[in-house]
């Protein structure tokens, strides 16, 4: 699991890591002075093999997305010109350049949040600036021909198929299953007004989705059929209140009214298991054999997922990433460290980096850090081994980097985005 943030390397004051609360975002890491000095010396003295740099032919202010199958460019919206999605093939190791595969028209209005490839389709997800409604447009991955367009954000279903999640403030939204090849809607389930929803599944593939109704009823549906599997009343009596839900493995976490505690329910039976005091829970994630819970006001609480008992906590730590039983955390202004999930013990300090968004959930963590001379050190960050392995030193990057080693896609300082093929 990665929680990462985009950072602008050129705006980083030397030696001062930006510290922000995580939510699908990454952070610079904590470092000891000796390790920092060693990395700077290594960055300046090690001769790296010549790298390949390929410029992405993207218009000004365009958004570029890296995928295993290639690179996708979304033009910025303009009132008088057509808007396009352009697909380029992934460059070969020889660095022959980017080959444009196809170009397709996009709606002029709206902001695009993601472009991904699923089941032979390229899915472009946008959101309307006017009403906040999500919309997914599907293109044939080989030809660029538009297949379909529907409201909602896509979620892959375990075993094949797609869900489209379309919550709306007026209560008219729904979660629907769409046939990927044709765009035919197979079924829809209304999303409750003033309710919350979440998903259950492994490796990003949904097998069930859950609603919590304002009345307190939690409902679990089969993601393949849309059939209601079971439900449980969490607010006995005639009450109505907003509650939040999240699924972590086979545990449903419910934040009841008051937001000063978390109730754990077992899945698939929805039986209540435990209640723990966690004020203002922001989110939770698995960390080793335990449950890491992050409050909205910062800090970290680590619970036993079977009993809800508190194993340890730290009011200062901000969780940045989890790999197995190792946590990457930011402390109180001193940088980032690797801690043991079971005990909270600090294992090592890695240095001051900005984490780069990754293409695959199990890809190696990649961090970048600017040197005093304006160059950018790129390293693989191994939480289990407790080390930062410098893999290249680049002349300078700007922002919006994405990684799928050995490829790094970044905006250049004074030009279009570029693909950097680093040394293995």
**What pLDDT was estimated at residue 50?**
62
Burial 67-92 (b: 16+ CB within 10 A, else e): bebbbbbbbebeeeeebbbbbbeebe
Q: Give yes or no for residue 2 having a pLDDT over 50.
A: no
Q: Is the dihedral of CA 111, 90, 358, 50 positive or negative?
A: negative
pLDDT band at 25 (very low <50, low <70, confident <90, very high): very low
Show me where the domains of the chain are located: 9-421
Mean pLDDT of 20-39: 32
Percent of the chain surpassing pLDDT 70? 85
pLDDT band at 94 (very low <50, low <70, confident <90, very high): low
pLDDT band at 49 (very low <50, low <70, confident <90, very high): low
Q: Give yes or no for residue 7 having a pLDDT over 70.
A: no
**What pLDDT was estimated at residue 5?**
34
Candidate CATH numbers 3.30.1340, 2.130.10, 2.60.120, 3.40.50; the one for domain 9-421: 2.130.10
* pTM summary value: 0.81
Q: Give yes or no for residue 43 having a pLDDT over 60.
A: no
Name which of 37-41, 105-109, 250-254 the model is least confident about: 37-41
Residue bearing the bigger pLDDT, 275 or 80: 275
**What pLDDT was estimated at residue 46?**
46
Percent of the chain surpassing pLDDT 90? 46
Q: Give yes or no for residue 249 having a pLDDT over 80.
A: yes
Residue bearing the bigger pLDDT, 214 or 26: 214
Mean pLDDT of the chain: 82
Write the pLDDT tens digit of every residue in 227-238: 999 999 988 776
pLDDT band at 332 (very low <50, low <70, confident <90, very high): low
Mean pLDDT of 48-53: 66
Mean pLDDT of 12-19: 29
pLDDT band at 47 (very low <50, low <70, confident <90, very high): very low
**What pLDDT was estimated at residue 410?**
87
Mean pLDDT of 65-84: 85
**What pLDDT was estimated at residue 4?**
34
Write the pLDDT tens digit of every residue in 136-152: 999 999 999 999 999 99
């Amino acid at each position: 699991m990665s929680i990462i943030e985009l950072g602008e390397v050129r705006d980083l004051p030397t030696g001062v890591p930006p510290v922000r609360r995580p939510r699908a975002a990454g952070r610079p890491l904590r470092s000891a002075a000796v390790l920092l000095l060693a990395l700077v010396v290594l960055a300046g003295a090690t001769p790296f093999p010549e790298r390949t740099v390929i410029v992405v032919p993207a218009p000004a202010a365009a958004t570029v997305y890296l995928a295993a199958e290639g690179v996708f460019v979304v033009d910025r919206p303009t009132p008088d010109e057509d808007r396009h999605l352009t697909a380029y093939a992934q460059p070969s190791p020889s660095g022959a350049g980017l080959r444009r595969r196809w170009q397709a028209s996009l709606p002029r209005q709206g902001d695009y949040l993601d472009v991904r490839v699923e089941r032979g389709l390229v899915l472009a997800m946008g959101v309307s600036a006017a009403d906040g409604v999500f919309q997914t447009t599907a293109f044939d991955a080989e030809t660029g021909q538009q297949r379909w367009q529907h409201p909602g954000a896509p979620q892959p279903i375990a075993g094949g198929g797609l869900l489209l999640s379309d919550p709306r403030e007026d209560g008219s939204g729904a979660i629907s299953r769409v046939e990927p090849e044709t765009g035919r809607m197979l079924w829809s389930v209304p999303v409750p007004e003033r309710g919350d929803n979440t998903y259950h599944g492994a490796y990003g593939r949904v097998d069930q989705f859950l609603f919590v109704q304002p009345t307190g009823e939690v409902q679990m549906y089969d993601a393949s059929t849309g059939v209601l599997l079971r439900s449980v009343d969490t607010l006995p009596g005639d009450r109505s209140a907003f509650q939040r839900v999240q699924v972590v493995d086979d545990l449903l976490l419910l934040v009841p009214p008051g937001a000063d505690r978390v109730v754990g329910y077992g899945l698939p039976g929805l039986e209540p298991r435990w209640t723990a005091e966690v004020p203002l829970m922001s989110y939770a994630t698995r960390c080793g054999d335990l449950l890491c819970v992050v409050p909205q006001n910062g800090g970290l609480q680590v619970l036993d997922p079977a009993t809800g008992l508190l194993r340890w906590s730290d009011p200062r730590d901000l969780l940045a990433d989890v790999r197995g039983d190792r946590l990457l955390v930011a402390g109180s202004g001193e940088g980032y460290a690797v801690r043991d999930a079971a005990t909270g013990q600090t294992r090592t300090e890695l240095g001051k980096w900005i984490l780069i968004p990754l293409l695959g959930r199990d890809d190696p963590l990649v961090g970048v850090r600017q040197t005093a001379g304006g160059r950018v050190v790129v390293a693989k960050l191994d939480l289990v081994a407790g080390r930062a392995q410098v893999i290249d030193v680049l002349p300078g990057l700007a922002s919006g980097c994405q990684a799928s080693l050995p490829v790094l896609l970044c905006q250049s300082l004074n030009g279009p985005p570029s693909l950097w093929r680093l040394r293995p």
